[in-house]
Structure 1
Amino acid sequence: MDDPKADLRHYLQLARDGLLWKLDGLSEYDARRPLTPTGTNLLGLVKHLAGVEVGYLGTCFGRPADEPLLRYDDAAVESDPNVDMWATADQTREEIIALYLRACAHADMTVEALPLDAHGRIPHSPAEPSGITLHRALVHMIAETQRHLGHADIVRQLVDAATDEVRRA
């Protein structure tokens, strides 16, 4: 039988795994090196997605994370809306990957605990005044992770021309 929740979790996990693969074999310098005019870098994408995972598949459903790196106060966001898009000098690759894995585990617990039609609310979002279902949040998370995986693919290609084709071989 088809299991829509299992299908959604499967595609989200494929994107998560792809994102982490982009860091394999890179030096610390290359993992955090900004290679686009906007400063996009691989560790920043992973850090950003950690916060998005907890936001959409945690906080929206009344299950916020306890970790301070996954929450940003209004003052930090006001001073820099992209505060989560890069690794600071004191954050190692291992710490950011561990943070991402904990964020994914936290999100997975929400998905496991709730039905797809569970209702949540996106804080500070006038675009979704009536809230969001878990189903919609999962679809959003898949789209968001795939979008940033595309960014990561371009950044990784700029570093050493590695693509998913290498991983599949």
Structure 2
Amino acid sequence: MIGLDDKADLRIYLQDARDALLWKLEGLSEYDIRRPVTPTGTNLLGLVKHVTSAEAVYFGETFGRPFAAPALWITGDAEPNSDMWATPDETRDRIVGLYRDVWAHSDATIESLPLDALGQVPWGKRAELTLHRILVHVIAETQRHAGHADIVRELVDGTVGLRNGDDNVAPGDSAWWEAHRNRLERAAREADRGA
């Protein structure tokens, strides 16, 4: 045993995912954090807004501790995808600040309840879930969106990595990466011809 309880372990993973997601905004202009870089409109600030809304529901409303945040479109309470992008009047500071406020609220919920506490998710087939299950779900969702942010940020300005000061990628300059990408392209074409 490493000395940490299960709840503490889960909170470490949740906070790592939160921090990774916010790091992807650092150093970018308002335009770059908002601009859609995929056909479905995925953008960095929208990802933060979405996970803010998700945490507010999962650690707030689910456990009888409502927290005011933009509505999740998936609940049917908002326009489709409205939680996946920021309007011009929703500033970076406002969204990031709200996300940090949600963290504090979520962390208080997690701290105050045992992992087997039951909550009522306001939608879905499995509406009654434990705090443990909710924690695992929110960690997975936040990590998934942090992965989206990894790709979006790379497309925006070429920045890659796990977190500030720890890029967790192979060393190489731009020429090395171009050669690596070309090698992968050749391998993909060769595999396609052999299929």
Structural mapping, 1:1-169, within 5 Å: 1-65=3-67, 67=68, 69-71=69-71, 76-77=77-78, 80-126=79-125, 128-129=126-127, 131-164=128-161, 167-168=165-166
Segments of 4+ moved more than 2 angstroms: 69-77
Supply the distance in 2 between the matched residues of 1:21 and 1:2 (Cα, whole angstroms). 26
Supply the distance in 1 between the matched residues of 2:72 and 2:43 (Cα, whole angstroms). 20
Q: Measure how far apart 1:152 and its partner are.
A: 0.5
Supply the distance in 2 between the matched residues of 1:149 and 1:6 (Cα, whole angstroms). 21
Supply the distance in 2 between the matched residues of 1:81 and 1:10 (Cα, whole angstroms). 32
Asked if the contact 2:53/2:72 (under 8 Å) is kept, the reply is no
Q: Percent identity?
A: 58
Supply the distance in 1 between the matched residues of 2:87 and 2:120 (Cα, whole angstroms). 30
Q: Measure how far apart 1:71 and its partner are.
A: 3.6
Asked if the contact 2:43/2:149 (under 8 Å) is kept, the reply is yes
Give the alignment's Cα RMSD to 1 decimal.
1.7
Asked if the contact 2:49/2:85 (under 8 Å) is kept, the reply is yes
Q: Amino acid of the residue matched to residue 145 of structure 2?
A: H
Decide whether aligned partners of structure 1 residues 72 and 35 sit closer, same or farther in structure 2, where only a CA change above 3 A counts.
Answer: closer
Q: Measure how far apart 1:124 and its partner are.
A: 2.0
Q: Secondary structure at the match of 1:120?
A: strand
Q: Measure how far apart 1:72 and its partner are.
A: 6.0
Q: Amino acid of the residue matched to residue 100 of structure 2?
A: L
Instruction: Determine which structure has greater relative contact order: mean sequence separation of CA pairs < 8 Å that are 6+ residues apart, divided by chain length.
Output: 1
Q: Secondary structure at the match of 2:144?
A: helix
Can you give the 5+ residue segments of structure 1 that lack an aligned partner in the other structure? none
Q: Amino acid of the residue matched to residue 118 of structure 1?
A: A
Q: Secondary structure at the match of 1:11?
A: helix
Rg bigger for which structure? 2
TM-score, normalised relative to structure 1: 0.90
Can you give the 5+ residue segments of structure 2 that lack an aligned partner in the other structure? 168-195
Q: Measure how far apart 1:168 and its partner are.
A: 1.2
TM-score, normalised relative to structure 2: 0.79
Supply the distance in 2 between the matched residues of 1:106 and 1:59 (Cα, whole angstroms). 11
Q: Measure how far apart 1:75 and its partner are.
A: 6.8
Supply the distance in 1 between the matched residues of 2:158 and 2:72 (Cα, whole angstroms). 34
